[in-house]
Amino acid sequence: MSGRRPLLASFPPLAFLVALALGQLVHRRWPASLPGGVARPLGVLLLAAGGALDAWAIMTHRRAGTSPIPSAPTVALVADGPYRYSRNPIYLAHALLAIGAGLVATRSAWALPAGMAALRATDRWVVPHEERELTEAFGDEYAHYQQRVRRWL
C-alpha cells in the first residue's frame, strides 16, 4: 500500500501509552484503587506475561528475517511462534504491559478499561491498515493464514 501511514498505524504503542496516561489521569480525578495485595502481584504477573509475549513475538519476527516494526517493510509472513495462536500477539502484549504498569504504579482499577480501550483503538485503526498491507503483499497466503488463526485469541 503506497502513501503515508497514519500516526497510530506507524507507531501502535502510542495507543497504549496514551491509554496508560489517561487511565492515571482519570484515577487522580476518580480514585479507584485495588488492594495492594491484589493489584501489585497481579500487575507484576501481567508485566511479566506481556514482556515474555512481546519478546517471543519479536524473536519470531527476527528468525523469519523481517522486522516487527509496523512501518518497516514486511518481507516474510510470520505464522509460527505466538503467531500460531494470534495474528496480533505484540498488541496483546502491549495491553498486558499497559494494564500491569497501571496496577503496579498506582493500584488503579482504571488500568483495565484503559488497556482495553487501547486494544479496541488498535483493533479499529491499526489492524485493518496492517491487514490490507499484508493482503497486498502476500495475497492468498495471508488469506489462508487469516482463516487458520484468529485476530486476537
Give the pLDDT confidence of 2-49 residue by residue, as tens digits.
Answer: 456 777 788 899 999 999 999 999 999 999 999 989 999 999 999 999
At 1 the pLDDT is 43
Give the pLDDT confidence of 132-143 residue by residue, as tens digits.
Answer: 999 999 999 999
> What are the structural domain ranges in the chain?
20-148
pTM for this prediction = 0.92
Average pLDDT, rounded, for the chain: 93
Q: ∠ CA(117), CA(123), CA(127), 5° rounding?
A: 145
pLDDT at 82 over 60: yes
The one-letter amino acid at 150: R
| C-beta of residue 111 within 8 angstroms of C-beta of residue 95 | no
Three-class secondary structure of residue 33 per DSSP: strand
Burial of 84 (0-12, 13-18, 19+ CB in 10 A): middle
At 132 the pLDDT is 93
Closest CA to 110 of 25, 18, 16, 27: 27
